[in-house]
Amino acid sequence: MDTSYEQLLDRAFAQLPSLAAEKSDFKIPEVDSIIQGAKTIIRNFSQIADVARREPDDIAKYLTRELAAPVSIGDQKLTISTKAQAAVLNDKIRKYFQAFVICKECGKPDTHIEGTQRGYETLVCEACGARYTVKRS
């Protein structure tokens, strides 16, 4: 066994899976919304919450703050008491995912939120173990 250290390293690296080959098929869902009178209804709200792996109430509170309009959840839909274009809603949902779902270290959505301390919560990545403090005023 006259194998050099460099040869052992080369053999070990050759057996590792390629990081470039590991692609995530994760996609932030597009909002399916309609405007009825002075209200906007997001018809696929429960699907968005399922993809985010967050409680619908958490996302609804975020949208209430961002849109400065009251919201209500019912029948797997979200009703917003104002007119909001789909582009604006998609932008707000994307920002929610970036702030509270997607890991800033590895970019994967495999996260959950742990306990509150002094108004702050901890976003924990289940894929890489990273931990971030997030504030949800």
Q: Give the per-residue pLDDT at 19.
A: 53
The pTM assigned to this predicted structure is 0.78
The CA-CA-CA angle for residues 40, 43, 46, to 5°, reads: 120
Contact (Cβ atoms closer than 8 angstroms) between residue 31 and residue 44: yes
Count of other CB atoms within 10 angstroms of residue 47: 13
Place of tokens 């894929």: 127
Contacts of 52 (CB under 8 A, 6+ apart): 59, 96, 97, 100, 101, 109
In the three-class reduction of DSSP (H, G, I as helix; E, B as strand; rest coil), residue 130 is classed as coil
Complete domains list, the chain, with CATH: 26-101 (3.30.30.170), 105-137 (no CATH)
| pLDDT score for 37 | 94
Nearest to 101 by CA among 63, 61, 46, 50: 50
Residues of the chain predicted below pLDDT 50: 20-21
